Amino acid sequence: MSKECCTTDNYLKPQKTEAHQNQCDSKKKDNHHHDHSHSHGHDHDHSHDLEGKTTFQLFLPAVVSLILLLTAITFDNYFLQNWFTGQVRLAWYIIAYIPVGLPVIKEAIESIRYKDFFSEFFLMVIATVGAFALGEYPEAVAVMLFYAVGEVFQTLAVSRAKGNIKSLLDQRPDEVTVIRDNKQVIIKAEDAKIGDIIQLKPGGKLGLDGQQISESASYNTAALTGESKPDTKSKGETVLAGMINGSTISLVRVTTAYSDSKLSKIVALVQDATAQKAPTELFIRKFAKVYTPIIVLLSVGITLLPAFFADTYVFSDWLYRALVFLVISCPCALVISIPLGYFGGIGAASHNGILFKGSNFLDILASIQNVVIDKTGTMTEGVFKVREVIINPEFNKDQILKMVNALESQSTHPVATAIHDYAGEVDNTINLADTEEIAGHGLKSTVNGKELLVGNFKLLDKFNISHDADTATIVYTVIAIAYDQKFVGYLTISDSIKVDAKIAIDKLHSMNVRVTMLSGDKSAVVDHVAKQLGIDNAYGDLLPEDKVNKVKEIKASNGSVAFVGDGVNDAPVIALSDAGIAMGGLGSDAAIETADVVIQDDMPSKIAMAINIGKQTKKIVWQNIVLAFSIKAIVLLLGAGGLATMWEAVFADVGVALLAILNAVRIQKMKF
C-alpha cells in the first residue's frame, strides 16, 4: 500500500459536469478547494481488488497460507518430524509465504517503478525478508499473513462503503416501458429519447426525468430527497428519475436525456465529492510522505547505532528490533480510515437528502459559528398569495392588474407567480417594450408609450415618484405600482413559514450557532418572521450588495459563516461565505451547481443536520488519528527497546487499521 494507498480518489471516478467544473474553477474559495494535482504514481485502489472476485476468492490466498503455516508450526513444536529441518523446513515456510507475500512483492516493485521507494509494500517486504534472514520463519509468514488479511478487510470495507453510496443514489432501473404505435415496448433506459412516453406501473421506479401526462400520481421521492413521504404530481408537473410510482399506472413524457437527468447529476456530484479533500486528509497524505522515510532511517539507526554504544552488540538482535519497528510504522490505519471516515460522512449526508460537494465542506460546517439565511424559500415556503389590492380610484383597477400581470409574466420570482394566480391568464394584447429587471428593486417596462413600474417602494424612490402610502406597519410583502410617473397603489402578498423552520433555529442555537436573516423584503416582514422563529438578528430592505456587506461584517466580528439561500440570486454572498448551502429542491439545477452543500428537500432542519454530520465525521476522524498515533507510538517505543515482537507489531499495524476502519464506517449507521 503506497503512501497514498488508501485515498478515496479512485473509489468513485469523478464525472464532472461542465457547469460544476466551471463553478469549481471560479469560486473564490481557494483556501478550501481540494488538491487536483493527483499523483501520477502508483495508487493502490482497494475497490478494484473486488472486481470479478467473491469474498472466498479474496480470502483464499490467506487460507492456503494459514493452513501451511499452522502445519509447519505443528511440525516444529508438537509433532516433531525428522525430515522437517534445514532446506525442507525453509522451503515449506517459503511456500507458505508465497500466496500472501508475492502480491505484496509485486506491489513493492511497482511502487519503486513509480519512484515511490518508501511504500508500505516495501516496508513489509524488508521486514519479512529480514525475518527470514534471521531464521524467524514463522514470524515472517505470520506478519505477511495478517497483513494480507487486513488488506482484504480494508478492501471489503471500502467496497461496502462505495456500494452503499452507489446503490443509495443511482436507483434508476436499467429498462423502461415506452408506448410506441400503441404498443408497450421494453427498452434500455439510456436508449429512451426525448418525447418518448414511459408507462410506469405501481411500485416502478422512473428511469428518466419527464413531465407527468396522466391526471395525477403519487410518488416516493426518497432517492432524491431522503424523505419517503409521498408527493402527488398533477398533469404537466415535472417528475424525476429515481422517483417510485404509487398505486396507479402513470404516463410520463421524457423531457431529458438519460445522462442529463437530475439523478445523473446528483450521482456525478457525490462521485466528484470524493476527489475534494478535507485539510485533515491532505495533511495525512503529506505527513505520510515525510513520516515513512524517517521511519526507515530510524530503523537503520536502530540496527547500526547501538554498535557504537552497547557493551555487547549482537547485530541480529538489533536488526530484529528494527524490523519490528518497520512493521509497526506502516501508516495504513491513517491513510485508509481518514478518507473512509469522510466518505462515510458524505454517504450519511446523501442518505438524508444532503449533498456535500467535498469532504472539505464537512470540516468547514463542523466548526461553523454563524448561519446566515435568506428568508423567501429558505425559512418560508416561497409560495406567495395576494392578500389585498389597494388601487387609487383614478385608475382602472382591472386594467392596472392586467398590465402588472403581463409585466410580472416576464419574471420567475415567486411574487410573479402569486400575481398570476390572482389575476388569471395574461392578456396578450398588452404590448410591453423596453422591459428591464432592476436588481433589488423590481421591474420596469413601457406600456402604451407610458412607463410602468412594479416592485418595492425603493423602485419608486429611484424614479422620483412620490407616494403617500403608509406601509411600514404592514407585516406582508408590499408590491408598489406606478404608471405614467404617478403612484397607482400597491398589492400585499404573504408567504407562510415552513413547518420545521422553528425546529431548525432551535437546533442551531443548541449547537451555539448564531443565526442571522438577510432579505430584500421590507424590514417589517423580515422582523415579523424573525421574531416568530427566534432568529438572533434580522435585516430587511437589502440589495444584493448590502447582503455582501453584512456577511463581511459578520465574518469580521464573529468568525466563520455558512450562507443558506437559493444558490442563484445570492451567488456573490455564497462565494464570500465559508460554505454556501442551497435549498436545492427537486428542480433547481443552478442551485446544485452553485452551492457547496445542497439540501434536496428544502427543509430548514437539514441545515442543523448537515452541521451535525460534519461534527460527527470530524470527531470520528480525530478519534482514528489519536487511536493510531497512540498505539503506534507505544509499540514503536517497545519495539525499539526490544520489548515488542513481530506479533505486537502486527497488532499495531493491521489491528489498529481494522479498528480505525470499523470506527470510520460507523457514521453510516448513525441517526441524525
| Distance separating alpha carbons of residues 458 and 549, to the nearest angstrom | 19
In angstroms, rounded to a whole number, what is the distance separating the alpha carbons of residues 109 and 372? 53
Query: What does the alpha-carbon distance between residue 277 and residue 545 come to, in Å, rounded to a whole number?
Result: 31
The residue ranges of DSSP E strands in 403-472, in sequence order, are 432-438, 442-447, 450-455
Q: How far is CA 586 from the centre of its chain?
A: 17
Catalytic residue numbers, as ranges: 374
SS3 state of residue 410: coil
Phi, psi dihedrals of residue 184, rounded to the nearest 5°: -85, 125
Residue of 219, 259, 212 lying closest to 238 (CA atoms): 212
Q: How far apart are the first and last CA of the chain?
A: 34
Determine the distance from the C-alpha atom of residue 436 to the mean position of all C-alpha atoms in its chain, rounded to a whole number.
38
Q: Which residues pair with 389 in a beta bridge?
A: 491
Run of H or E residues at 494 = strand 486-494
Strand partners for 562: 371, 579
Whether 233 contacts 219, CB under 8 Å: yes
Beta strands at 537-539 and 442-447: parallel, antiparallel or unpaired: unpaired
Backbone angles phi and psi of 170, in degrees to 5 = -90, 80
The C-alpha atoms of residue 429 and residue 406 are separated, in whole angstroms, by 9
Taking every pair of C-alpha atoms in the chain, what is the biggest distance, in angstroms? 119
Q: Three-state SS for 210? A: strand
CB 211 within 8 A of CB 225: no
- Rounded Cα–Cα distance for residues 41 and 99 (Å): 26
On whether the CB atoms of residues 88 and 105 are closer than 8 A, the answer is: no
Cβ partners under 8 Å of residue 22, min gap 6: none
Distant-in-sequence, close-in-space partners of 491: CB < 8 Å, separation ≥ 6: 386, 388, 389, 390, 404, 419, 478, 479, 481
CA–CA distances in Å: residue 206 to residues 190, 191, 225, 237: 12, 14, 15, 14
Other CB atoms within a 10 A radius of the CB of residue 401 amount to 20
> Per this entry, what is the length of the chain?
672
CA triple 470-475-480, angle to 5 deg: 50
What's the Rg (C-alpha) of the chain? Answer: 32
Nearest CA to 601 out of 168, 269, 227 is that of 227
Query: Which residues, other chains included, contact 271 with Cβ-Cβ below 8 Å and sequence gap of 6+?
Result: 12, 13, 14, 15
28 and 576 Cβ atoms separated by less than 8 Å: yes
